[in-house]
């Protein structure tokens, strides 16, 4: 969990700066995370602290939609 928790931010930053993220890196994230609800909960706790933008989290939710099964949604960060 801790090993991969900064990966979504790095991928979002790539997408924002270059127009797309490294698809192999994103696929590796999809493969390596086995409990997406737990991972997203961790990301939400980390990403919703004071001073942090929620846009990287929103991006992650959009990118994983239809690719992994989760009960947590983008609405949970609003």
Confidence of residue 2 (pLDDT cuts 50, 70, 90): confident
**Cα-based distances in Å from 39 to 30, 46, 50, 51, 65:** 11, 11, 20, 21, 15
Residue 1: pLDDT above 80? Answer: no
In a domain, 2, yes or no: no
Structural domain of 21: 7-77
In a domain, 42, yes or no: yes
Residue 54: pLDDT above 90? Answer: yes
Q: Average pLDDT of 47-54? A: 91
State the pTM of this model: 0.92
Q: Are 36 and 69 in contact (CB under 8 A)?
A: yes
In the chain, the number of structural domains is 1
Q: Strand, coil or helix: what is 20?
A: coil
């Amino acid at each position: 969990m801790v090993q991969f928790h900064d990966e979504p931010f790095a991928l979002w930053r790539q997408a924002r700066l270059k127009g797309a993220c490294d698809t192999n890196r994103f696929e590796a994230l999809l493969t390596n995370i086995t409990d997406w609800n737990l991972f997203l909960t961790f990301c939400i706790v980390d990403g919703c602290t004071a001073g942090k933008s929620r846009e990287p989290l929103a991006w992650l939710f959009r990118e994983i939609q239809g690719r992994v099964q989760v009960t947590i949604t983008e609405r949970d960060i609003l």
